[in-house]
């Protein structure tokens, strides 16, 4: 069989219509009618008051931290079990990340570890300027517990929902619960604009400020006038056109992702050596990637054996507190470091929405042969 990828872009077939409109009207540079429509469509879908389309999810996080007045020397509490893009914006500013462990139900930020970290910070009169929680692999964190702690200590929450567009927590779209939320439309996400992201909030004034900062902080004047540091973070009109067409098929993509997860779960439901990330009660998981924990084999070995059969897979995120870049960082774990265990046991399986039934069956049979 041909190589079976982990997850790749899946076009709807309608993208070219909006791309052509951009060319026909010469709206090639950032901003334009497609950007306006994409932002409006995202706001309608998410229920957020307003949305600013950005060049990446990373830039959206950077804007969120800037709007929250995070400065050099401040601390930002971050999930350790994530991709480094969740952390880098704090470093751009000169803030110090403090890492928080995962809990085992959702693999998201542990309220237990977060509570200890906030208590310590309050004792030292050094509360963080923000908490960045990451909704992993489409699954929501335990937001009630996290928001209760954040509100108790007066610390704003940024929701990194890069992997979780379309997922919900108690009926609310992820990204709309904290002060800010972010989405990513990178090539491997559930929908894509090639490269791109979005910043959302229920404070429309803040999103308008984000648009201003993300457009080089240009003031209204008959000449170029700047009073603040700005960034070149706005999405291009061409890429926004792709996003409009992609958003139209989001529900189809979610349905296919969930069907892929269900097929894997059914194939291995009687096998004790493999367990799946569950769906927390009251949440809806878009199942961006189907992820498993292997109890009897190393994920590295399984990944190599799958690759030899033409199947791409990937280890789970290597915790940030174990990265060389953060060797001196502070880390708050639960009694046992859950994030380290997840990395040691975890594997992502092919979850692209182009997967055929035959390919999915081949992956299941191959994986079964390997773990037996």
- Whether residue 3 is contained in a domain is answered as no
Same domain, 170 and 36: yes
Indicate the burial class of 1 (C-beta count within 10 angstroms; 0-12, 13-18, 19 or more): exposed
Question: Could you give the residue numbers annotated as active site?
Answer: 189
**Band of residue 337 on the pLDDT scale cut at 50, 70, 90:** very high
Residue 326's CATH number: 3.90.1150.10
The last residue of a domain, from among 201, 224, 248? 248
Same domain, 231 and 332: no
Domain range for 279 is 250-371
Q: What is the pLDDT of residue 303?
A: 97
Nearest to 30 by CA among 230, 250, 247: 230
- Whether residue 178 is contained in a domain is answered as yes
- Whether residue 9 is contained in a domain is answered as no
**Model confidence, pTM:** 0.96
pLDDT 10s digits, 107-153: 999 999 999 999 999 999 999 999 999 999 999 999 999 999 999 99
- Whether residue 2 is contained in a domain is answered as no
Same domain, 202 and 341: no
| The token pair that represents 165 in the structure block | 């567009």
Report the alpha-carbon angle 62-155-94, nearest 5: 40
Same domain, 208 and 342: no
| The token pair that represents 58 in the structure block | 């990373």
Same domain, 22 and 170: yes
The last residue of a domain, from among 190, 217, 248? 248
pLDDT 10s digits, 280-318: 999 999 999 999 999 999 999 999 999 999 999 999 999
Residue 159's CATH number: 3.40.640.10
- Whether residue 4 is contained in a domain is answered as no
Same domain, 265 and 183: no
Nearest to 204 by CA among 228, 180, 232, 224: 180
Q: Judge contact between 168 and 224, C-beta under 8 A.
A: no
Same domain, 53 and 186: yes
Ramachandran angles phi, psi of 234, nearest 5°: -90, 150
- Whether residue 234 is contained in a domain is answered as yes
The last residue of a domain, from among 232, 248, 264? 248
Question: What is the separation of C-alpha 115 from the centre of its chain, rounded to a whole number of angstroms?
Answer: 23
Residues in Cβ contact with 76 at an 8 Å cutoff, skipping those fewer than 6 apart:
65, 70, 90, 95, 96, 97, 98, 128, 129, 130, 131, 132
pLDDT 10s digits, 16-44: 999 999 999 999 988 899 999 999 999 99
pLDDT 10s digits, 212-257: 999 999 999 999 999 999 999 999 999 999 999 999 999 999 999 9
Mean pLDDT for the stretch of residues 355-371: 96
Q: Judge contact between 244 and 37, C-beta under 8 A.
A: yes
Q: What is the pLDDT of residue 2?
A: 65
The SS3 call for residue 230 is coil
Same domain, 182 and 311: no
Q: Judge contact between 199 and 64, C-beta under 8 A.
A: yes
Domain count, the chain: 2
For residue 1, pLDDT over 60 is answered with no
Q: What strand order describes the sheet that includes 274-276?
A: 274-276, 290-294, 346-349, 314-315
Same domain, 337 and 219: no
Asked which of 24-33, 174-183, 330-339 is least confident by mean pLDDT, the reply is 24-33
pLDDT 10s digits, 265-288: 999 998 989 999 999 999 999 999
Buried-exposed string 42-60: b where 16+ CB fall within 10 A, e elsewhere: bbeebebebbbbbbbbbbb
The SS3 call for residue 332 is strand
- Whether residue 166 is contained in a domain is answered as yes
Residue with tokens 């994530």: 82
């Amino acid at each position: 069989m041909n190589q079976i990828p982990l997850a790749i872009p899946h076009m709807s077939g309608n993208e070219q219509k909006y791309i052509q409109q951009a060319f026909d009207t010469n709206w090639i540079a950032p901003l334009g009618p497609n950007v306006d429509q994409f932002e409006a469509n995202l706001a309608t879908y998410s229920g957020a008051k307003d949305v600013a389309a950005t060049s990446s999810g990373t830039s959206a996080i950077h804007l969120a931290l800037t709007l929250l007045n995070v400065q050099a020397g401040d601390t930002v509490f971050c999930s350790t079990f994530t991709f480094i893009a969740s952390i880098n914006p704090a470093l751009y500013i000169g803030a110090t990340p403090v890492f928080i462990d995962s809990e085992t139900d959702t693999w998201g930020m542990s309220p237990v570890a977060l509570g200890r970290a906030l208590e310590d910070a309050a004792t030292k009169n050094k509360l963080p300027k923000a908490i960045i929680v990451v909704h992993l692999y489409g699954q929501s964190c335990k937001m009630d517990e996290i928001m209760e702690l954040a509100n108790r200590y007066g610390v704003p929450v940024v929701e990194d929902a890069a992997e979780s567009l379309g997922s919900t927590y108690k009926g609310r779209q992820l990204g709309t619960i904290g002060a800010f939320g972010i989405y990513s439309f990178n090539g491997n996400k559930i929908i894509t604009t090639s490269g791109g992201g979005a910043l959302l909030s229920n404070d429309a004034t803040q999103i308008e400020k984000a648009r201003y900062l993300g457009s080089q902080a240009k003031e209204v004047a008959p000449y170029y006038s700047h009073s603040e540091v700005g960034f070149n973070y706005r999405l291009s009109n061409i890429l926004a056109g792709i996003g409009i067409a992609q958003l139209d098929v989001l529900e189809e993509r979610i349905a296919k992702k969930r069907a892929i997860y269900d097929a894997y779960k059914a194939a291995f439901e009687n096998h004790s050596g493999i367990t799946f990330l569950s769906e927390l009660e009251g949440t809806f998981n878009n199942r961006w990637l189907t992820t498993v924990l292997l109890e009897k084999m190393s994920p590295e070995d399984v990944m190599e054996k799958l690759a030899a059969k033409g199947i791409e897979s990937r280890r789970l995120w290597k915790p940030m507190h174990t990265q060389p870049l953060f060797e001196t960082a502070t880390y708050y774990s639960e009694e046992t470091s859950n994030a380290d265990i997840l990395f040691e046991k975890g594997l992502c399986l092919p979850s692209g929405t182009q997967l055929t039934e035959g390919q999915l069956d081949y992956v299941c049979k191959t994986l079964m042969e390997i773990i037996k």
